[in-house]
Structure 1
């Protein structure tokens, strides 16, 4: 075992004893252009490589100066393959006396969650059933409004044995059937999974100054910021939230991403969607009628998307980075909705949001099977495994927006 390493050392020479680091040293390396992280007690300098990370520099950078072991296992299906890319970045390991996780984390919970994941792997719950997704694709071709479900799974789950075919399939569903970029979707959605409900790391909740959620309500109130009547945000949510997310926000953000990041293949896929759409409908309805139909479809799917995805998150804790372990951070930001055949179908199994967040690469058809194991883990460690009725979950979105607006108004008037 080597001595205590000095910050700034390069990769350890092959065969040489690895330097050891303490958490107080590692914590210093969480700056733009200077990022370290810990995986399986080994310390990696990802400062330069982060820009080449297939999942994007933000996704891996959000775990800077942290133990990223569980996130590493959650997002990568072929760990041995990915470790080959990590090897040149290795600069040392944690000192023997250092805990595996920094800060006041429950080491027993971390150990038990990893045992749960191993049990799920032994039960082959991460193995996708191609027949399930083939039937789903047929369903979606008949009901294109459900395309979000399939492209969402293709971004997370290896439906095909070859990852390149999985990516091509996602590009087809996202681009040809929806008109969006697969790379853009993965860029923002994987950040959401890495750090759910964390400001400036989860794009889904970094929505100020349009809406104030969680801790941002107090901050805006204390600073006397009033760009909108936030104490009425639960009302104007109905005007600019569900109707316009995919029609306006996603369209603009998606196009900007493809142009700035030069994702020309995705741009061609998206262009094929718009060409097909207007060539199919303009002869029947004319260009104005086809545009009206496009807007109607986008508004309809936007309502579905917002209500189904946000009923599991907006009513939960939303704030700044807490540096929790993987299981605790996911459970604090998610809840489930009571399952039924209809709700499972209507939500695309996203009513099992807890299981989906704990195991983002697990195929959706296995959420029911792993749920009892997750419940047992939560019961053992006193963690809240929250399950709501469907209508309650929808109403809680509005209640949470109103509560945050009231908190803002109180701080704005009296701080």
Structure 2
């Protein structure tokens, strides 16, 4: 072993409370600036990077909003089912065309929903309130001007500001862009997030496990969280747990917007990431006062933010929700995650002693919460979890039937 790898265990310093750690992260994460044009059909979930102004009225013509008959509203005054008013039918207006004529006094035009209103007409009588007999239509209810129709520009008027940069694109936003004739939209690019796992105990899937090895879990869970929260996951793979290998990887730090390293952030004799971080960059905190996930690290190298996540799968995934997700969403210009929380009784007594704030995963069954958290290394603590509860520092149990707040994971 090289001389620079001969390290001894050293304890963590003072652990950082969660809210203080999140504040530090927020202070060092900046929103992405680069933009690109993409087809609007591929833009759902992206963040718009341009001002959108209506270049024309939408709809560009007055149109019927109901199937029925286009009329002059004044011609229907006093019409009832018992005292209908007869109007002359002069034709039919389907969608996609324009009636070549004018509705005069005493006349009406059969019209489909969405079809352009003919000249001379200012309202539509719904077909349910009419009775057609050859070229005569009995009107059985009066309508006011503009009834059952939309004027040109009723949705968007030419020159109206429709969308601003920073708006997350939804199907409704795509619909507005489509209505304005957009083929492509300007969006902010997604942050590129490099991921690697370290440790001699980690093996890639597809390779036979050697004694003492486990398969790489964290690269997959981290990539999923990153992709679901506006980022592009760049999985580097498994990096050899040596100072030289870690330095070589971090030497390309500026090629990505954010790095997430799992393993190597604890205080063991072979956990080298934090040692390299101290040499190559800046560590803002190392060790958080939450359980699981105490070894979490945050810093930067060459101006690129770096997360060091615990190697244990549950700790890594838990802290990707708690610490990584807010940072990534800010960088991607997405709104903070809205966590849905519900109050439920505990289905059993739960005891969990710690001097740290605890995140305990639970499943929900028959309206009650049941602990599924096992140990930090057991991924099924997350596999079967519907949510988690937070036990504040100094709280080490919840009684059966006691109401707890469950933060739902999958909504």
Relative to the length of structure 2, the TM-score reads: 0.21
RCO greater where, 1 or 2, for CA within 8 Å and sep 6 or more? 1
Computing the radius of gyration over CA atoms, which structure comes out larger, 1 or 2? Answer: 2
Which of the two has greater strand per residue?
2
Relative to the length of structure 1, the TM-score reads: 0.21
